[in-house]
Amino acid sequence: MSLTAADISRIANLARLELAPAESERMLTQINGFFDIVEQMRAVDTSGIEPLAHPVASVRDIALRLREDIASEPNQREANQRSAPAVERGLFLVPKVIE
């Protein structure tokens, strides 16, 4: 299996990454080099095997916890916005999205 320049461009768009032409080209070579080592994995017979997400679930039941939907933190708006690129009157600013 080999990716094409069009694949790289499609994936970069999905990942919201702008790639310069030289970068795309390098990425194509490197990712194809990587998928060479992935091929051996595709041939493994995994029929009847359950996927493993939490590793300890291989030996005991692991239930992902949900906590009550109640506010547990004090209002940290100022601290949380201290590192924001653009803020006005306590709101995060983004480029206009609705005409």
Q: Rg for the chain (alpha carbons), in Å?
A: 23
| Partners of 91 in the β-ladder | 88
**Contact flag: residue 75 with another protein (CB under 8 A):** no
Question: Out of 22, 75, 85, 89, which residue is the one contacting another protein (CB under 8 A)?
Answer: 85
With H, G, I as helix, E, B as strand and everything else as coil, classify residue 2.
coil
Rounded CA separation 19/3 (Å): 16
Question: Out of 2, 18, 22, 89, which residue is the one contacting another protein (CB under 8 A)?
Answer: 18
Residues between 21 and 50 with contacts to another protein, criterion CB under 8 A = 23, 27, 30-31, 33-34, 36-38, 40-42, 44, 46, 49-50
